[in-house]
Amino acid sequence: MTKKFGIIGNPIKHSLSPLLHNYWFDKYKIDAKYSIIEVQDDNFSNVISDLKNEKISGINITLPYKQKIVPHLDMLVNDAEITSSVNTLYLNNNGKLVGDNTDVFGLQAAYLKEVDNAESKKALIIGAGGVSPSVILSLIKSGLKNISITNRTKEKCFFLKNKFKILNIVDWKLLKEEIKKYDILINATSLGLKNGEDFDFNFENTKNNLIYIDTIYNPLETRTLKYLKEKDVKVFNGLDMFIYQGQKSFYLWNKINPEIDQKLIEILLSKLK
Ligand code: ATR
């Protein structure tokens, strides 16, 4: 029987996850299908019972449900336990519904392995929304000791500092001035998303050897990323992070580490043009 997998989130129409996972199911000749699953009014009960009854074999969770799903699960493991942010669900051998997090791996695999002398680098995370706990943990796991965070709504920074004591909180109003102090800047806000709002200033005063990471991949280049790229700053968009988180989810479900081949990358890029 064809196994079912899927993703929940809102908005979810434009998710590339079905393309990613169905490509790999095809490549490894696994009889399975990955689809978008609509959730009405944040009601997870159908998805949860389908997982428990093994009608669905695995689910990805994206914004805004990564934290909201937690009370519906039997247990959190690994990075999900540390971040309380879940993006992958499956039933374990004891019939328990498990929440894991592959976003942390996604960020590390995509960019942070390239950071030399991580202990001496200063990072600023811009944004304290759904993806931020995973960004913080990936920086910590990569050996950074100096990690700051700023957010328009400051309370969300305090909430994260309760969990991750290492964080320094920077006032949102000082952002434009502050960015010159950092070796790594990570945009974890929704600023720059296609058809959305953007930063109301250019990132002019940055260090020459800055690394700029955008968690956004739609568009592939946000205005800020494009601006910094033209100034020869080392920039990364969110596409690699997206692919690597998917690779690890696929592994958790199928125990196959799927290859990220050129054809797959070309298909994904063609969808983002
Ligand atoms: P949520 O707020 O539900 O966690 P998210 O998509 O996970 O949603 O996160 C959105 C992030 O982008 C938040 O850091 C948000 O800042 P607030 O916490 O102050 O809302 C940030 N963001 C979105 N629009 C913004 C804007 N116009 N200016 C500054 N930050 C913005």
Neighbouring CB atoms inside 10 A of 255's CB total 7
215's tokens? 């968690």
In the chain, the largest separation of any two C-alpha atoms, in whole Å, equals: 58
Per-residue pLDDT, 212: 97
Ligand 1 center to residue 270 CA distance, Å? 28
Per-residue pLDDT, 213: 97
- Interatomic CA distance for residues 30 and 112, integer angstroms: 32
The reported pTM is 0.96
Is 212 found in the same domain as 260? no
> What is the number of the ligand 1 atom nearest to the C-alpha of 197?
27
Per-residue pLDDT, 75: 98
The CATH number linked to 156 is 3.40.50.720
Is 115 found in the same domain as 97? no
- Is residue 246 in contact with ligand 1, taking CB distance under 6 Å? no
89 touches 58 (CB < 8 A): yes
Per-residue pLDDT, 42: 84
196 touches 190 (CB < 8 A): yes
Listed in sequence order, the DSSP H helices in 102-174 are 103-110, 132-141, 155-163
State the burial class of residue 71 (Cβ atoms within 10 Å of its Cβ: 0-12, 13-18, 19+). Answer: exposed
- Is residue 84 in contact with ligand 1, taking CB distance under 6 Å? no
Ligand 1 center to residue 170 CA distance, Å? 16
> What is the number of the ligand 1 atom nearest to the C-alpha of 156?
18
Is 257 found in the same domain as 175? no
Query: In the chain, how many domains are there?
Result: 2
Helices 262-271 and 17-27: crossing angle in degrees, nearest 10, is 150
Instruction: Give the single-character DSSP code of 120.
Output: G
19 touches 72 (CB < 8 A): no
Best of 190, 191, 200, 222 for a ligand 1 pocket test (most atoms within 8 Å of beta carbon):
190
Determine the structural domain holding residue 186 and report its residue range: 105-237
Which one of the listed residues 3, 33, 55, 66 is annotated catalytic?
66
Closest of 247, 251, 196, 246 to residue 224, by C-alpha: 196
Ligand 1 center to residue 153 CA distance, Å? 8
Per-residue pLDDT, 40: 85
Is 71 found in the same domain as 41? yes
Going residue by residue through the chain, which has 273 residues, state the pLDDT in tens, using 9 for 90 and above: 999 999 999 989 989 999 999 999 999 999 999 999 999 888 999 999 999 999 999 999 999 999 999 999 999 999 999 999 999 999 999 999 999 999 999 999 999 887 999 999 999 999 999 999 999 999 999 999 999 999 999 999 999 999 999 999 999 999 999 999 999 999 999 999 988 999 999 999 999 999 999 999 999 999 999 999 999 999 999 999 999 999 999 999 999 999 999 999 999 999 998
The CATH number linked to 79 is 3.40.50.10860
